[in-house]
Amino acid sequence: MNRFSSRFATLAFALLLVGAPAHAQETLRLNAQFRALFEPAIAPSIASTVVVRSAGKDLCLGTIVGPDGWILTKYSELVEPITCRLPDGTESEARVVGVQTTNDLAVLKVEAKDLKPIVWQDSSKVAVGDWLATVGIAKSPVSVGVVSVNTRKMPTPYGPARVQPGTSSGYLGIRFENITGGIVVRGVEENTPAFKAGLRQEDTILSVNLKSVADRESFQELLAGTKPGQEIQLKIRRDKEEKEITVKLGKRPFDLDRSGFQNNMGGELSKRRTGFTSILQTDAQVKPSECGGPVVDLEGKAVGINISRAGRPQTWVLPSEVIQPVLFDMIVGKLGNPGLTSAVSTMPSRSKLVQAESARDSARIALESAMKKVAEAEKKVDQTEDALRMAKEAK
């Protein structure tokens, strides 16, 4: 911080305006000279930020997490074919290699070398009132804002009655609650996807797309990565008989999102706005197309990535401590890639992964067998040499 002392002395004075009315604060944050004060803080991370694009349109930002072309971004904004505009200005084709739908994350792979991975900082290092900056590809930050709520677990968007407003996942149209070994339908709304598919009250939902439903939290996770128009397979139990039902998910009715109109007055909102494991809340004003990139503190370290423009005064940051534990599994494709159908052909299938792992294990066994044979041969040579030496000594 000492190397930026002169500029941040000016910044410290500007921060006195935090107590000013909200409209005055917003004017301050949009001021180019004020945002320029954050340039030294974001400078190291610009080289770790990309623009994710499709058909000439910016979809979102991405964060470089590996030097050989590994890029973290926001899953629900992706549309194939995907390209990434790299820090050097070149544009490279990208493929989806893994996703984590719970937190709306995707890892992309581009053919590149010697990229600069982001430097992470635990989000617990920042407190309410601290300033954060959203990094883009320009010298000045995309947006700046303060921490309004510390990192916390986010309430599940699925309750006993219905899905809470603000999600962009596919819409079923049921009321449900937990039971042992699944969830039970307590009501089906008329003219909804569930109603049209023949789902009935008191049906027990056992699995979604062959994945077991243990409780409403697991049901949330399985539906979080779906989109309107997508078909899902439900395995249900009805009157002690199990059966499968195909449901084509729909869009959420407007009356389930009464806050949407008011929230949108502050700008376009993200498609996915709830269901994340944990979030850090800021009042930075970003567009959905500006999510996915790093959010840094005044030391220039990334406390997370913008994951959702959730409301007029709210932007969710997915904390670094949520991201880092799942990065490796995403990179190797262990978490799968449901939902982005055109990407499935570009990423290794589970069967190919199993084949590769089997080939690796076979090679290891063959190597161990060969080494064992070498050891046995060396032992026989030693025994032969000992026998010859003893024979010479006997003469």
C-alpha dist (Å) from residue 339 to 26, 61, 149, 222: 37, 20, 32, 11
Task: Give the strand pairing for 211-212 and 57-66.
Answer: unpaired
Give the SS3 label for residue 29: helix
According to the model, what pLDDT value does residue 216 have?
A: 74
User: Which residues touch 383 (CB under 8 Å, ≥6 apart)?
Assistant: none
Q: For residue 379, how many other CB atoms are within 10 A of its CB?
A: 10
Q: Is residue 358 within 8 Å of residue 121, measured between CB atoms? A: no
Burial class (CB in 10 A: 0-12, 13-18, 19+), 39: middle
**CA atoms of 188 and 20, how far apart (whole Å):** 49
| Cα dihedral sign, 111-51-49-287 | negative
Q: What pTM was computed for the model?
A: 0.60
What residue ranges in 189-269 does DSSP mark as E strands? 204-208, 211-212, 231-238, 241-248
According to the model, what pLDDT value does residue 372 have?
A: 72
- Please name the helix (run of DSSP H) or strand (run of DSSP E) that holds residue 281, with its range, or none: strand 278-282
**CA atoms of 395 and 393, how far apart (whole Å):** 5
**Fold for the domain defined by 174-254:** Pdz3 Domain (2.30.42)
According to the model, what pLDDT value does residue 3 have?
A: 44
C-alpha dist (Å) from residue 364 to 332, 352, 357, 368, 372: 20, 18, 11, 6, 12
According to the model, what pLDDT value does residue 93 have?
A: 96
**Fold for the domain defined by 2-153+276-331:** Thrombin, subunit H (2.40.10)
DSSP symbols for 310-345: EETTEEEEEEHHHHHHHHHHHHTTTT---S-HHHHT
According to the model, what pLDDT value does residue 119 have?
A: 95
- pLDDT (tens, 9 = 90+) of the chain, 395 residues, equals 444 434 454 454 455 444 445 555 566 667 778 888 999 999 999 999 999 999 889 999 999 999 999 999 999 899 989 999 999 999 999 999 999 988 999 999 999 999 999 999 999 999 998 999 999 999 999 999 999 889 988 754 433 333 343 445 788 888 888 777 778 888 888 788 999 999 998 999 999 999 888 877 778 778 877 888 899 999 999 998 999 999 999 887 643 444 444 444 446 788 888 778 899 999 898 999 999 999 999 999 999 999 999 877 789 999 999 999 999 889 887 766 544 533 333 333 333 444 454 455 556 556 666 777 777 777 887 788 777 878 777 76
**CA atoms of 130 and 297, how far apart (whole Å):** 8
| Cα dihedral sign, 141-143-145-147 | negative
According to the model, what pLDDT value does residue 340 have?
A: 52
**CA atoms of 170 and 24, how far apart (whole Å):** 39
Is there a cis peptide before residue 81, judged by omega within 30 degrees of 0? Answer: yes
User: What φ, ψ does residue 67 adopt, rounded to 5°?
Assistant: -65, -20
Ordered by start, the domain boundaries in the chain are 2-153+276-331, 174-254, 349-395
**CA atoms of 313 and 296, how far apart (whole Å):** 19
Residues in the chain, total: 395
Q: Is residue 201 within 8 Å of residue 185, measured between CB atoms? A: yes
- The upper half-sphere exposure of residue 341, i.e. CA atoms within 13 Å in the direction of its Cβ, equals 6
Give the SS3 label for residue 192: coil
Burial class (CB in 10 A: 0-12, 13-18, 19+), 34: middle
Q: Is residue 148 within 8 Å of residue 281, measured between CB atoms? A: yes
